[in-house]
Structure formats: C-alpha cells, structure tokens
Amino acid sequence: RKEVEQDPGPFNVPEGATVAFNCTYSNSASQSFFWYRQDCRKEPKLLMSVYSSGNEDGRFTAQLNRASQYISLLIRDSKLSDSATYLCVVNSRGNNRLAFGKGNQVVVIP
C-alpha cells in the first residue's frame, strides 16, 4: 500500500461550486498532515496544515480522521484561481520526512 494515496482526478468544478476530496495514508503513527498547492510546472506551496480538530482558512476547510486514516480538503465558492493540483502530505517515517501524494487536480470552469 502506498504511503499516501489520492485520486488524481481531474475534478472539474463549476465556478462558485464546492469541491471536496480525500487522501488516505498508511502509517497510523503519522503526526503531521498538510495540504500543498502546486500550479503547473511550479513549486509546491503550503496551503494549510491539518489539525486534529479540523481547521478552516477562508474558503478552505481541512479535516483529519485518524480512525480511518484520511484527511480531506473542501473548497467552497470555487474561484478560477483555485485551479491547481492539491497535494496531500504526511510525515510517514518520523521527523521531517514528508511523503507526498500524487495530487488532486482541480479545474474550475467558468
């Protein structure tokens, strides 16, 4: 089983709609969880950390489900500028070593 698994999509989303996707991780001892955003051919950038109680940053909401070993990202009121690949990131082998999922590609359609 891969360390971090994501459905690559693409997720075609009408502008203004809500989109949500999950990623699953294999190491039950993982302690750190993040969502990164990557635009085409550019470097990944931290979107948000994911906390046990769930957290929100504007139109973005992240949740962690430790029992089922998945994290989720929800984007409300999608904007054209939200079109990107969203990478699920988990530390799978102890401090500092982060494992990256292959990403969920989101395409927001006018």
Partner 1 sequence: EAQVTQNPRYLITVTGKKLTVTCSQNMNHEYMSWYRQDPGLGLRQIYYSMNVEVTDKGDVPEGYKVSRKEKRNFPLILESPSPNQTSLYFCASSLAGTGGGVSPSYTFGSGTRLTVV
Sketch the per residue contact string, 43 through 82, with partner 1: x for CB under 8 A, - otherwise.
Answer: xxxx--x---------------------------------
Nearest by Cα to 49 from 36, 30, 58: 36
Cβ 12 to partner 1 shortest distance, Å: 20
> How far separated are the first and last CA of the chain, in Å rounded?
37
Q: Which residue's CB is nearer to partner 1, number 33 or number 78?
A: 33
Under rule CB under 8 A, residue 107 binds partner 1: no
Burial tier of 87 (Cβ tally within 10 Å: 0-12, 13-18, 19+): buried
Letters for 27-46 (x = contact with partner 1 by CB under 8 A, - = none) are --xxxx-x------xxxxxx
Q: What are phi and psi of 32, to 5 degrees?
A: -120, 135
- Please identify which residue in 87, 104, 106, 108 interacts with partner 1, judged by CB under 8 A: 87
Q: How far is CA 45 from CA 26, 27, 38, in A?
A: 23, 23, 6
**Residues at the contact surface with partner 1, assessed by CB under 8 A:** 29-32, 34, 41-46, 49, 87, 91, 94-98, 100-103
